[in-house]
């Protein structure tokens, strides 16, 4: 398409305020060109945001930053109308409460502003199954690429996985090599609770910033950094700017640490704040960025350096000192932030599959509905202290059991809250309004000894 425009023979200065904030990215190209081309032309659309990269032939292109920028502006209610490249439409059209116009060429864009009859498109609805609670939709997709039917035996581990998924509780699997720790961890992703539109858009934003493909599927993120990964790669950083790491990319999903004790000590101890406060602050000379870290943390470890301490058929080659050093890599404050501890046995010849991911997801959906219908903003595993007393109502027998456990095990306040939240999820899986004695006892059975 030919461009019917001549560049003005004059000096042009473009000012991007505030001047002390560094700007970068090619998504400014189109707005610069329009500012020059339409400097003396009136238009009738009111406030409209314009984004797009401009090619030398005048073609308007998409960039990775357009979607996250518009999403951030829309969440803050700072944007109502937007003009974007046509190839950005499929992504941006999922953002609610904005009107969208598209263009393919600079000439199209100039004509758009000169034509007051141009119309804007409305956002599109997601085409997935959903649950509706209190007029809010929660989307899900029954897609089980890997299934819990592949896990033979390990009934306690599968029950704990179900509880972890239903309430987004942190979980630690311990067992000999090959017993199924990683199998359980990797299958958790597909039975996690349905997602709100806000969570789906946030996942898409993270994928776009990380230059990954955006799908808008209601499948939660799964991040599994290697134990040799550096601290900046996991928590974020960089010499120039505060770039996000694995724990930020795992937000609303799963963060899996295999070979848990082999991670650097600095990485392990730095996990405390993200697990407790669900956020991480990255500070650099020129910037400070806070990322949300509301994920389900899953860890797997061997019982000793050689892995055979719990084995019935293999002899452990580790000395007591080696075992103690291995276990001391995980501090008590860190372990205190894990809700469920599961010790897994070796797979036997008679072990068989028992429950499918589809059946487990059905139970998770039921527990999810119970939590949302109670008016909870967060799922059980992420409840704040003020909500525990309100939603974790115990029967008289359960109160006595909890008091006895506090005295016997010298539980910390954090430990008490963890037991209450896990028992609340167990009660939800059984459609129980209050937490009973059996729910408290099962929650105590998953406590780290």
Query: pLDDT (tens digit, 9 = 90+) per residue, 153-166?
Result: 899 999 999 999 99
- Is 80 exceeded by the pLDDT of residue 56? yes
Q: SS3 for 119-177, per residue?
A: CCECCCCCCCEEEEECCEEEEECCCCCCCHHHCCCCHHHHHHHHHHHHHCCCEEEEECC
Q: What is the CATH number of domain 383-445?
A: 1.10.8.60
Enclosing H/E stretch for 31: helix 29-37
The pair of three-digit structure tokens given for residue 69, joined into one six-digit string: 């920028």
- Of 341, 366, 292, 337, the C-alpha closest to 164 is 341
Domain ranges, ordered by start, for the chain: 26-114, 131-359, 383-445
What are the Cα distances from residue 193, in Å, to 169, 223, 289, 317, 335?
A: 12, 17, 28, 42, 25
- Name the superfamily (CATH) of residues 131-359: P-loop containing nucleotide triphosphate hydrolases (3.40.50.300)
pLDDT at position 373, please?
94
pLDDT at position 11, please?
81
Cβ atoms of 209 and 244 closer than 8 Å: yes
Cβ atoms of 152 and 240 closer than 8 Å: no
Higher pLDDT, 14 or 65: 65
- Of 357, 354, 303, 306, the C-alpha closest to 330 is 303
337 pLDDT band, cuts 50/70/90, is very high
Stretch 377-382: mean pLDDT: 94
pTM: 0.90
Q: What is the pLDDT of residues 213-255, one digit of tens each?
A: 888 899 999 999 999 999 989 998 766 656 788 999 999 999 9
- Helix, strand or coil, per DSSP, at residue 288: strand
Sheet holding 81-85, edge to edge: 49-50, 81-85, 99-103
Q: What is the CATH number of domain 26-114?
A: 3.30.230.10
Give the integer Cα–Cα distance in Å for 225 and 217.
22
**26-114 and 131-359: identical CATH topology:** no
- Residue listed under structure tokens 């459609």: 431
pLDDT at position 36, please?
82
Stretch 269-281: mean pLDDT: 90
- Is 90 exceeded by the pLDDT of residue 418? yes
SS3 content of the chain, % helix, strand, coil (to 5): 40, 15, 45
Q: Radius of gyration of the chain from Cα atoms?
A: 26
pLDDT at position 350, please?
83
- Of 217, 204, 200, the C-alpha closest to 142 is 217
Cβ atoms of 83 and 47 closer than 8 Å: no
């Amino acid at each position: 398409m030919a461009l019917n425009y001549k560049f003005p023979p004059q000096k042009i200065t473009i000012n991007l305020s505030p001047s002390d904030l560094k700007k970068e990215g090619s998504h400014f190209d189109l707005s610069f060109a329009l500012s020059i081309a339409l400097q003396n032309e009136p238009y009738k659309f009111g406030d409209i945001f314009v984004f797009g990269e401009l090619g030398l032939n005048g073609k308007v292109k998409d960039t990775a930053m357009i979607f996250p920028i518009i999403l951030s502006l829309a969440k803050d209610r700072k944007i109502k109308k937007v003009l974007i490249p046509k190839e950005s439409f499929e992504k941006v059209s999922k953002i609610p409460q904005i009107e969208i116009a598209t263009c393919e060429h600079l000439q199209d864009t100039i004509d758009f502003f000169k034509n007051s009859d141009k119309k804007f498109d409305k956002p599109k609805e997601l085409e997935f199954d959903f649950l509706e609670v209190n007029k809010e939709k929660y989307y899900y997709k029954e897609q089980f690429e890997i299934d819990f039917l592949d896990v033979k035996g390990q009934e306690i581990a599968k029950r704990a996985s179900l509880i972890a998924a239903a309430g987004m509780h942190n979980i630690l699997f311990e067992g000999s090599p090959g017993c199924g720790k990683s199998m359980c961890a990797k299958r958790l992703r597909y039975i996690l609770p349905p997602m709100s539109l806000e969570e789906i858009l946030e996942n898409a934003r993270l994928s776009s910033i990380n230059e990954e493909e955006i799908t808008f599927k209601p499948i939660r993120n799964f991040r599994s950094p290697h134990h040799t990964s550096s601290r900046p790669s996991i928590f974020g950083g960089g010499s120039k700017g505060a770039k996000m790491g694995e724990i930020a990319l795992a937000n609303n999903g799963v963060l899996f640490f295999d070979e848990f004790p082999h991670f650097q000590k600095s990485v392990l101890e730095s996990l405390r704040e993200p697990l407790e406060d669900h956020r991480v602050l990255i500070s650099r000379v020129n910037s400070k960025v806070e990322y949300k870290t509301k994920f389900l943390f899953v860890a797997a470890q061997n019982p000793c350096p050689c892995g055979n301490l719990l084995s019935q058929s293999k002899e452990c080659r580790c000395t007591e000192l080696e075992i103690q050093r291995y276990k001391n890599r995980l501090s008590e404050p860190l372990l205190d932030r894990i809700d469920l501890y599961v010790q897994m046995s070796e797979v036997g010849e008679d072990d068989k599959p028992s429950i499918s991911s589809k059946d487990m997801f059905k139970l998770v959906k039921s527990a999810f509905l119970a939590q949302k219908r109670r008016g909870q903003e967060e799922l059980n595993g992420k409840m704040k202290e003020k909500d525990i007393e309100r939603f974790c109502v115990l029967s008289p027998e359960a109160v006595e059991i909890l008091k006895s456990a506090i005295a016997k095990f010298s539980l910390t306040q954090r430990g008490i809250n963890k037991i209450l939240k896990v028992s609340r999820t167990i009660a939800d899986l059984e459609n129980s309004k209050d937490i009973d004695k059996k729910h408290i006892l099962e929650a105590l059975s998953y406590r780290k000894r």
